[in-house]
Amino acid sequence: MSVCEKYYPSEPSKPSVVTSSIPGPESQRALQKLGQVFDARPAYFMGDYEKSLGNYLVDADGNTFLDLYAQISSIALGYNNPALIKAAQSPEMIRALVDRPALGNFPSKDLEGILSKILKFAPKGQTHIWSGLSGADANELAFKAAFMYYRSKARGYETPFSAEENKTVMENSTPGSPDLAVLSFKRAFHGRLFASGSVTCSKPIHKLDFPAFDWPHAEYPSYQYPLADNETANRTEDDRCLKIVEDIISSWPIPVAALIIEPIQSEGGDNHASKYFLQSLRDITTKHGVVYIIDEVQTGVGATGKMWCHEWAELQPPADLVTFSKKFQSAGYFFHDPKFIPNQPYRQFNTWCGDPARMIIAGAIGQEVADNKLVEQCARVGDYLFEKLEKLQSQYPDKFQNLRGKHRGTFIAWDLPSPAERDAFLKHLKLAGCNVGGCSTHSVRLRPSLTFDEKHADIFVNALTNVVSKL
Amino acid sequence: MSVCEKYYPSEPSKPSVVTSSIPGPESQRALQKLGQVFDARPAYFMGDYEKSLGNYLVDADGNTFLDLYAQISSIALGYNNPALIKAAQSPEMIRALVDRPALGNFPSKDLEGILSKILKFAPKGQTHIWSGLSGADANELAFKAAFMYYRSKARGYETPFSAEENKTVMENSTPGSPDLAVLSFKRAFHGRLFASGSVTCSKPIHKLDFPAFDWPHAEYPSYQYPLADNETANRTEDDRCLKIVEDIISSWPIPVAALIIEPIQSEGGDNHASKYFLQSLRDITTKHGVVYIIDEVQTGVGATGKMWCHEWAELQPPADLVTFSKKFQSAGYFFHDPKFIPNQPYRQFNTWCGDPARMIIAGAIGQEVADNKLVEQCARVGDYLFEKLEKLQSQYPDKFQNLRGKHRGTFIAWDLPSPAERDAFLKHLKLAGCNVGGCSTHSVRLRPSLTFDEKHADIFVNALTNVVSKL
């Protein structure tokens, strides 16, 4: 019995679209009403989560979609997973929801146990955790850790703050509020708050009209595909980008305290970084005393065929900080060097210090992923699916440009010739019963749940073939 | 029957401290273990939330505290409230926890209903809502709304972005990433991320070593108490501070797009702003085209004897944006002008757009507050308690300096002569079974749940009398 059959014995056997357009009339009516109090314009349709099951997302009109987008890559185990329902009904969950503690000041007796269940799945080498509430929050908390660490190396970990630092910080000026930068990459997405927004660099719409820090963006490699046929060109591309990184670190007018990178840039177009590139960044950051932050918000928790995507790079020594959110539902960062714990309490602190309700869900997700070998399943299903996509690519090379994500689980993407064709493609796929997301301006990204298996891949490839043959 | 008796028929009748020091041995042991994976240094003790009930917080050693801190002002209805337990066990909650939607792209069918239950309790005049995850997040989302609104007035709401804006924003430079400021106040606390950190100005430890925006801090009035005896001096103080606000708006090198203020500065020392001051800020911000943001993260949801503290000021016209979090468990901002909805979708957007699980809790809290007239109860109990504190003040004037919060519900504070005496005072109160928080460097702040009633006030005043007489 497959994992999916075990979880979802009554999962639909195929998608079913009953309206002639999407959103259908009931979604439209409900979205119009929602729009009176909330910005509902980005909605594709209104979800009916009570009726959704496993890999199938049902909408308010009764359309049943095979879901390869999974709430922007955030549903790990499918809809209405029985193990998560059990966690949601546990006494610990009731406490977490009803008596939400200020975890820094009055931690709950069970907090250590809850965190340990998440830490069990931390990337290799990472031993500590700090909790936040979203991917953007996780990244900004990691920046705070990085800035404190960077300044403590210069000042001395035990050295008290100077009178001048204590005075100037209250005026938002140096040296108390130092000019320090986080280096990121063009096409990166790390969130939409003000520091996370300053490192995000994929689309103007994310950040127009917001003040930003004067932080630099290096170039992220653009590989030629298939990788196996372009090794020399891609290595040259890596070296070109690495030189830019090192040049910026050496020359940017503001000291670069940290570097943040997605092992695969997701929102920015499913741009992959090679093992060589990620290890070289480790070497460069070590050499220059820059904190190395890996953003696993979208790539983490199994979808690339490893629990954490950057584990493919086998970094030595490990990254300094690794951030997570999305498929773990909870958010935060992992680290291994105890010196990332600030030299005084209350420096990394806030009222809630994370959400225990979401932490409990994260632990339950991790346990299910491990018990059911879902990372291994995702690697297997991804290879199966990729092979079929390669066949489609050979038939329709124009509609499957730069097919990428081979041996990276179901974390697969390709390009269409133009944004308009990509948008039409995704629309036709929805009408064919497959909910699929885009990224960048003209890419298609696959982000199914880890319970997606070969039979779902077959259904998807079948729909894809029908759609592409008619385009 | 009192509300508390209805909710908590088996609430303890009094505090009980069974260890000779706090944290007790079991808390210490557990905190030491937690400290191996998490920064547990700020913890006062380890909470046992299963055993906590109503206004009483039980710790891992079995100490039972009357809780006047309520998880840093975040527990609205006491511990293990039966109505919230019911909400936590509802089918909607299971869905929200297990199938967390990306609410912007795939909102759940019940989202409009969930949000309406929160909006029902919005400050007068506010008709829309946008959701976040914490107080800091709520404030930063409000800043984003303010910056977009401010720039859209200059550019024209329908005017497209220029090619130069679209280009420069990807370099974090003007005009795409404009230099715009948020004006806040000295001693303010609005959160600890990077933009919220730049408007926070209460203690160096919150923000040392973090880059900050070059944003200004005006002076928040410091009143003389009792207010009734110092009307002229306090009006002069208001006018002095208002002049500084207007001078900064006119002269700060970066245009001031928004002003943010707590109606009572909480972390910064329970500094109150008069009705005159808050209305004058409305007049000044209207005159200068500055967005007026009221931060009700700590003051909101009933504790001052109004649902929202700034309702005491009866602002005309209403504030532009009002942020909330803490006692509503959920977070976000309210607004009334539809032009605060950005001119394009995906400008105010992120993966989750809030947490439906916490929204459900917020709606249930609001309903209980309304059904049980808890705001009115809090006003009544606050007056009862304040009168007793005035008596203590007349006996021990040195230990109850600047007693403040008269007719502001249980949102009461006073000063001790020094930080050391304040810290000792809070420690002795804990040993006497009362969990009370401090603010600023030498103030005591009372933040009980809304279920705190006269009998709890009597117990507290009795403990206080014992402690103060021995100091």
Do B404 and B432 share a domain, yes or no?
Answer: yes
A84-135, pLDDT tens digit by residue?
999 999 999 999 999 999 999 999 999 999 999 999 999 999 999 999 999 9
Nearest CA among A73, A179, A135 for reference residue A437: A73
Within 8 A by CB and 6+ apart from B236, the residues are none
Distance from the Cα of A471 to chain B's closest Cα (Å) equals 25
Q: Does position A185 have pLDDT exceeding 90, yes or no?
A: yes
A326 is catalytic: yes
Domain limit, last residue, from B354, B389, B421: B354
> Which member of B37, B135, B208 has the closest CB to residue A115?
B37
Q: Do A217 and B171 touch (CB under 8 A)?
A: yes
pLDDT (tens digit, 9 = 90+) per residue, A27-72? 999 999 999 999 999 999 999 999 999 999 999 999 999 999 999 9
Selected residues 109-148 of chain A with any CB under 8 Å from a CB in chain B: 109, 111-112, 115-116, 119, 127-131, 133-137, 140, 143-144, 147-148
A293: pLDDT strictly greater than 90: yes
Strand order in the sheet with B321-324: B128-132, B331-335, B321-324, B291-295, B256-261, B181-185, B217-218
Contact A432, A467 (CB under 8 A): yes
Please report the pLDDT score of residue A471 as a whole number: 80
Task: Count the neighbouring beta carbons within 10 Å of the beta carbon of residue A158.
Answer: 7
The CATH number of the domain holding residue B202 is 3.40.640.10
User: Do A29 and A116 fall within a single domain?
Assistant: no
Q: Is the pLDDT of residue B1 over 90?
A: no
The average confidence (pLDDT) of chain B is 97
Boundaries of domain holding A207? 101-354
As a whole number, mean pLDDT of residues B62-82 equals 98
Residue B277 has what pLDDT?
Answer: 98
Q: Cα(B329)–Cα(B75) distance, rounded to whole angstroms?
A: 8
Amino acid B243: pLDDT: 98
Does the residue A41 lie in any domain?
Answer: yes
Whether B76 and B185 share a structural domain: no
Q: What is the mean pLDDT of residues A296-322?
A: 98
pLDDT of A49 reads 98
- A351 annotated active-site: yes
Residue B92 lies inside a defined structural domain of this protein: no
> Is B204 inside a domain boundary?
yes
Contacts for B32 with CB less than 8 Å, ≥ 6 apart: none
CA-to-CA distance for A117 and A365, rounded, in angstroms? 10
Q: Is B436 on the interface with A (CB under 8 A)?
A: no
Question: What would the DSSP string read from start to end of A257-290?
Answer: EEEEE-SEETTTT-EE--HHHHHHHHHHHHHHT-
- Among A211, A326, A208, A341, smallest CA distance to A262 is for A326
Residue ranges of A 221-250 with Cβ closer than 8 A to chain B: none
What is the structure's pLDDT at B470?
A: 85
Q: What percent of chain A has pLDDT over 90?
A: 99
Q: What is the pLDDT of residues B278-313, one digit of tens each?
A: 999 999 999 999 999 999 999 999 999 999 999 999
Smallest Cα distance from B141 to chain A, Å: 8
**Facing residue for B88 by CB, picked from A94, A214, A347:** A94
In terms of domains, do A62 and A105 share one? Answer: no
Which tens digit of pLDDT belongs to each residue from B199-219?
A: 999 999 999 999 999 999 999
**Minimal CA–CA distance to B16: which of B63, B52, B82?**
B63
Say what the pLDDT of residue A448 is: 98
pLDDT at A470 over 90: no
**Which helix (H) or strand (E) segment is A98 a member of?**
helix A91-98
**pLDDT at site A16:** 98
In B193-258, alpha helices (H): 194-199, 231-251
Q: Are A165 and A108 in the same domain? A: yes
Say yes or no: ipTM exceeds 0.90. Answer: yes
CATH of residue A401: 3.90.1150.10
How does strand B256-261 pair with strand B271-272? unpaired
Which residues lie closer than 8 Å to B34 by C-beta, 6 or more apart? A107, A111, A112, A115, B40, B43, B46
Region A137-152: mean pLDDT is 98
Q: What is the DSSP letter of A72?
A: H
Instruction: Report the alpha-carbon distance of residue A257 to residue B56 in Å, rounded.
Output: 45
Do A77 and A106 fall into the same domain? no
Alpha-carbon gap, residue B354 to A72, rounded angstroms: 14
Same domain, B453 and B316: no
| B170 vs A201: CA distance, rounded Å | 6
Q: Which two tokens stand for residue B326?
A: 């803490």
Q: How many domains does chain B have?
A: 2
In the predicted model, what is the mean pLDDT of chain A? Answer: 97
Residue B65, pLDDT score: 98
Contact B215 A172 (CB under 8 A): yes
Confirm whether A363 is domain-assigned.
no
Residue A349: list chain B partners with CB under 8 A. Answer: 39, 42, 192
Nearest chain B residue to A201, by CA: B170
Helices B275-288, B231-251: crossing angle, 10 deg rounding: 20
Distances (CA, A) of B434 to A174, B24, B413: 41, 15, 15
Q: Within a domain: residue A150?
A: yes
Q: Is the pLDDT of residue B63 over 90?
A: yes
Instruction: Kindly determine whether residue A44 and residue B119, on different chains, have CB atoms separated by under 8 Å.
Output: no
User: Looking at the structure, do residues A312 and A418 belong to the same domain, yes or no?
Assistant: no
Q: Strand, helix or coil at B91?
A: helix
What is the rounded distance in angstroms from the CA atom of residue A134 to the CA atom of residue B289?
33
Interface of B with A in 180-219 (CB under 8 A): 180-181, 186, 191-195, 198, 201, 204-215, 217
Please check whether residue B87 lies inside any domain of the structure: no
The answer to whether A80 and B98 have CB atoms below 8 angstroms apart is yes
The string of pLDDT tens digits covering residues B24-43 is 999 999 999 999 999 999 99
> Does residue A310 share a domain with residue A450?
no
Answer yes or no: is A360 within a domain: no
A316: confidence class by pLDDT, cuts 50, 70, 90: very high
Return the half-sphere exposure (C-beta side, CA atoms, 13 A cut-off) of residue B248: 23
A161 closest CB neighbour out of B140, B180, B208? B208
Regarding whether B387 and B347 lie in a shared domain, the answer is no
A310 and A438 both lie in a single domain: no
CB B306 within 8 A of CB B375: yes
Q: Is residue B95 part of a domain?
A: no
Q: Are residues B297 and B162 in the same domain?
A: yes
Q: Is the pLDDT of residue B471 over 90?
A: no
β A331-335/A128-132 pair status: antiparallel
Average pLDDT over residues A176-199: 98
Percent of chain B with pLDDT over 70: 100
Structural domain ending residue among the three candidates B354, B383, B401: B354
